[in-house]
Amino acid sequence: MHEYLRAIGFSRIESKEELNQLLKMAEESYQIERTSGDYEGHDFSERRKEFAPGMGIMLRGEYNERGEYQSEYYFPYFQGRQEKFYDNITIERHAEKESYAGVIDDLAMGVTIIFYVQNVADYLSERRRSHFSSCTVTLKLAGLSTEGKILLPVAQSLTPEENTQAILQRTKLIKAAREGDEEAIENLTIEDMDTYSMISRRIAHEDVFSIVSTYFMPYGVECDHYNVLGEILEYHLVQNSLTKEWIYVLTLESHDLVFEVCINKDDLLGEPAVGRRFKGVVWMQGEVIYHN
């Protein structure tokens, strides 16, 4: 049973029989289907069954010679709304099955983000037309979480405009450093040393979450899982149409990356509010929109 089913409102499924009934219903009453040819020349298919706005269960499989659909695996999905342009994305196939991971370098964050690709059929169709391994895209990132906490905000020393300017300046330095600019490398090194010195002084008498306002870092052994601390920009509740469970949809900002996270209301400790912060582990997914 998929760990993140509860994130979209299926926390009470306890047996294999209940899961099979749910998957059968999703397979037979799907709302959207996309097909394409896979690596082996088969008719690859994605079937989506939505149970709340922007979230549901996706079934992936293929059609046999008789035109019969055969489901291979499923996963819960959640579609983000925040779009961000990337001029270089790499998509790689997982070894065990027809699923894919996307890889992007986010210079504003200074990290490489790995996510689970939602729209594989679109990728396979695009690849057949243009034969690419990396390209320019618009990306909609979203996260699913099974446990989270709400933290109070911290006092900001910079105004929003000053913070945006600082992020842009750091992004330019990181880009220059990657291209071998020694002055940029030196400036980044000095900046990191100053940050380390400041944290070392304050950590002796302050809580770490009053020093660090947001973070976004890899978590565990699965490459598309991240430990996230982000400021809540917006939030609302949606209801699973089948189970009637309530799910929080949070719009977060973490290190200039804005994305949505969905979490079962019962799994969130605290009361969300704009300006407060969400802390939790998320499974990152992404919908890739290609530019010809």
Dist CA 260 CA 95 (whole Å)? 28
Strands (E), 118-164: 134-151
Say which amino acid occupies 198.
M
Residue 51 lies in a domain: yes
Which pair of structure tokens corresponds to residue 40?
């082996």
Last residue of a domain, one of 53, 78, 103: 78
Residue 255 has pLDDT above 90, yes or no: no
The region, left, alpha or beta by phi > 0 then psi within -120 to 50, assigned to residue 54 is left
Asked if residues 265 and 245 have their Cβ atoms less than 8 Å apart, the reply is: yes
Is residue 154 predicted with pLDDT exceeding 90?
Answer: no
Asked if pLDDT for residue 27 goes beyond 80, the answer is yes
- Residue 84, pLDDT > 70, answer yes
Higher pLDDT: 193 or 53? It is 53
Q: Which of 19-33, 146-160, 258-272 has the lowest mean pLDDT?
A: 146-160
* Domain boundary residue, one of 78, 100, 128: 78
Number of domains comprising the chain: 2
Token reading at 274? 């704009």
Report the alpha-carbon angle 116-93-27, nearest 5: 65
Crossing angle, helix 160-178 and helix 182-202, to 10 degrees? 130
Among 14-18, 135-139, 249-253, whose mean pLDDT is lowest?
A: 135-139
Residue 30 lies in a domain: yes
Domain-located, residue 107: no
Q: Is residue 32 part of a domain?
A: yes
Domain that holds residue 173: 156-212
Reported as a single tens digit per residue, the pLDDT across 215-239 is 899 998 889 999 999 999 999 999 9
> What is the model's pLDDT at position 188?
76
Average of per-residue pLDDT across 56-71: 88
Share of the chain above pLDDT 90, in %: 54
**Is pLDDT at 131 greater than 60 in this prediction?**
no
C-beta separation of 207 from 228 below 8 A: no
Element (H or E) spanning 25, and its range?
A: helix 16-28
Last residue of a domain, one of 18, 46, 78: 78
Per the model's pLDDT, the better-predicted residue between 239 and 166 turns out to be 239
Q: Which residue has the higher pLDDT, 200 or 53?
A: 53
Give the per-residue pLDDT at 195.
74
Work out the average pLDDT over 162-170.
70
258 has a pLDDT exceeding 80: yes
Flag whether 250 is in a domain: no
Percent of the chain surpassing pLDDT 70: 91
Query: What backbone torsions phi and psi does residue 257 show, to the nearest 5 degrees?
Result: -100, 120
Mean pLDDT computed over 126-149: 83
Q: What is the pLDDT of residues 91-124, one digit of tens each?
A: 999 988 889 999 998 766 678 899 999 999 988 8
Sorted by sequence, the CB contacts under 8 Å of residue 26 that are 6+ apart come out as 47, 49, 56, 57, 59, 74
- Evaluate whether 98 touches 72 at the Cβ level (below 8 Å): yes
Phi, psi of 232 (to 5 degrees): -80, 115
In a domain, 29, yes or no: yes
Q: 195 lies in a domain?
A: yes
Distance between CA atoms of residues 157 and 162, nearest Å: 9
- DSSP secondary-structure letter at 133? S
Q: What is the pLDDT of residues 203-212, one digit of tens each?
A: 777 777 777 8
Residue 88 domain flag: no
